[in-house]
Amino acid sequence: MAKKNLSCIWGFIFTILAFALMFFAAILQGHAQSVTRQGNTFIQDSSKTRKVKDTPTLTKYTYKTSDGKTYPIYMSSTGKCFIIRTSSKTGKQYKQYLPEVTKALSK
């Protein structure tokens, strides 16, 4: 009777380990990336690659702020207009999006 219970326990352990192994294999397969080789260059075929940021396009328009400063207007690859300002506190540049200009230019 003890041998029967022992073989049942080992069967149960084996089943649990088999399911765990299949689970981890499925997870790893989901993150796999396919790579092809063309000469000395390797090309990643996965759709999960990072997208390269598009450079904004400088328009012929300018934007004058309430304090009298004039900035050139840029247009992003998605068609949104913005200016590049510099923070007076930190000195870092940031984008200020202009939804009203985007609406006016899209008409």
Q: What is the pLDDT of residues 75-101, one digit of tens each?
A: 998 889 999 999 999 999 999 999 998
Mean pLDDT estimate for the chain? 80
**pLDDT (tens digit, 0 to 9) for every residue of the chain, 107 residues total?**
556 666 778 778 888 887 777 776 666 665 556 667 677 766 666 665 566 677 889 999 999 988 899 999 999 988 899 999 999 999 999 999 999 988 888 77
- Supply the pLDDT for residue 106: 77
Percent of the chain at pLDDT > 90 equals: 35
State the SS3 of the chain. CHHHHHHHHHHHHHHHHHHHHHHHHHHHHHCCCCEEEECCEEEECCCCCCCCCCCCEEEEEEEECCCCCEEEEEECCCCCEEEEEECCCCCCEEEEECHHHHHHHHC
